[in-house]
Amino acid sequence: MSKTILITGSTDGIGKITALNLAKKGHNIYVHGRNEAKVFQVISEIKEASNNQNIVGFVADFSDLESVIKMADKIKNEIPKIDILINNAGVFKSKTLENKDGLDIRMVVNYLAPYVLTNAILPNIKKSEAPRIINLSSAAQAPVSEAVLTGKEQQSENSTYAQSKLALTMWSFNLAQQEPNITVIAVNPGSLLNTKMVKEAFGQHWSPVEKGSDILVDLALSEDYKNDSGKYFDNDKGEVKGYFSPAHPDAYDEGKIEKLLSITKGLL
């Protein structure tokens, strides 16, 4: 049975290949990017390569939370039921360090934007018989500084990126508790995969991008994971495919999660 799947940050890298592979399986795919021309180009590429015409796109700049809210409103009106949401959009290196609200770009794109989008479209996700939310975390996870989260302090790219990914993981675990009927999984798709983001950041890669897209397709569709909500999948483990593994200790600390979400709600 075909599912309705929304993948953020899907005009290149893991997101694009995941969208293509899911389209080839006959699912209804909604892609997202921040550049309108690129979104339309990717839609036509996927339609042609997958022989699937059910590909639609949304345009939003995830460093601008107002843009995310507009996209969420559009989604609510245009997609009555969402079976799978893959929060894939992410940034490591950026020419601008802050968004127009003075918040760190990494914190906004990697954590606040998926938080805002997901919460806004939860009613549509809940209409699915077996909804799933896959949040792209990372092997890099570091304790979240309130000063960094609220834009009062700038830290290095590595540090802020790791904080944004831990924040996303902490929220994922909380969401899994709040929404017992939705399977919520945080995943490190693999470190230093051959993507544009990795090349810009490190100039080298360890693994092919397919390693990441394969696990996303698997986590999105396989029945094997329907009872694994609130867990962290580490695709750096294992030879061929990773396995569930402990995330950063803060992701299991109720007090820290509560504080993170309280600051987040205050910011928004």
pLDDT at 79: 98
Alpha helices in the chain (DSSP H): 13-24, 36-50, 65-78, 105-107, 113-125, 146-149, 157-178, 196-202, 209-221, 254-267
Mean pLDDT of the region 180-194: 84
Mean pLDDT of the region 230-245: 90
Measured between alpha carbons, how far is 110 from 113 in angstroms, rounded to an integer? 7
pLDDT at 190: 75
How many domains is the chain built from? 1
Reply yes or no on whether the pLDDT at 35 is more than 80. yes
Query: Which residue range forms the structural domain that includes residue 126?
Result: 4-267
Reply yes or no on whether the pLDDT at 109 is more than 80. yes
Residues in the chain: 268
Q: pLDDT averaged over the chain?
A: 93
Q: Alpha carbon of 238 to those of 19, 39, 188, 233, 242: distances in Å?
A: 25, 34, 13, 11, 5
pLDDT by residue (tens digit) across 44-58? Answer: 999 999 999 999 999
Tokens 């396995």, residue? Answer: 243
Reply yes or no on whether the pLDDT at 223 is more than 50. yes
Mean pLDDT of the region 60-74: 98
Alpha helices in 87-144 (DSSP H): 105-107, 113-125
Among residues of the chain, what percentage have pLDDT more than 90? 83
pLDDT at 220: 97
Reply yes or no on whether the pLDDT at 191 is more than 90. no
Measured between alpha carbons, how far is 220 from 226 in angstroms, rounded to an integer? 10
Identify the sign of the CA torsion 30, 34, 36, 41.
negative
CATH number at residue 189: 3.40.50.720
Select the more confidently predicted residue: 14 or 212: 14
Reply yes or no on whether the pLDDT at 201 is more than 70. no
pLDDT by residue (tens digit) across 11-34? Answer: 988 999 999 999 999 999 999 999
pLDDT at 198: 44
Reply yes or no on whether the pLDDT at 266 is more than 50. yes
